[in-house]
Amino acid sequence: MTRLAPSGLTIALRAGEDIAARTFYTTLFGRAPDYSPHEDFHEWQIARGAWIQIMTGCDPVEPSLNRVRFQVEDLAAATAALRAQGIAVEPPTTLPGVVIFTNLTDPWGNPLGLFQDLAPAGGPTVPGGTVRDESHFLG
């Protein structure tokens, strides 16, 4: 059996009116879409091989059932910047020494969030000790 070896990921979210959706996600990511192949379809590359796709003009909008969280280097600074732009962000939750994260929702009900990795590079390698512990992942 051939093993699937993905080298990228796209996550598509539905949104309403095009200008409002582009404005929200441009504010969230701090830049305009990287690619807009259609007038109602916009993509932001989040990391190498990882794209968020926003399909606009959906009526009715069916929000995702799954939360999509984006890693940031400084959660406090990122949430302050979003709040300054009028985006509501929930108070953070901390798993000491592992991660701090927060949740937010886009105007169409898509559950989103931000997280900051707190585990030090080269940290403990016992299961549960760090999100960088390779034993947590299937080989």
Does some domain include residue 139?
no
Tell me how many domains the chain contains: 1
CATH number, position 72: 3.10.180.10
Taking the alpha carbons at both ends of the chain, their separation in whole angstroms is 16
Q: Convert the pLDDT of each residue in 105-133 to its tens digit.
A: 999 999 999 999 998 776 554 455 555 55
* Residue 36 lies in domain: 9-132
Inform me whether the pLDDT recorded for 139 exceeds 50: no
Point out the least confidently predicted range of 2-11, 28-37, 71-80: 2-11
Does some domain include residue 85?
yes
From the centroid of its chain, how far is CA 71?
Answer: 7
Does some domain include residue 3?
no
Q: Convert the pLDDT of each residue in 36-93 to its tens digit.
A: 999 999 999 999 999 999 999 999 999 999 999 999 999 999 999 999 999 999 999 9
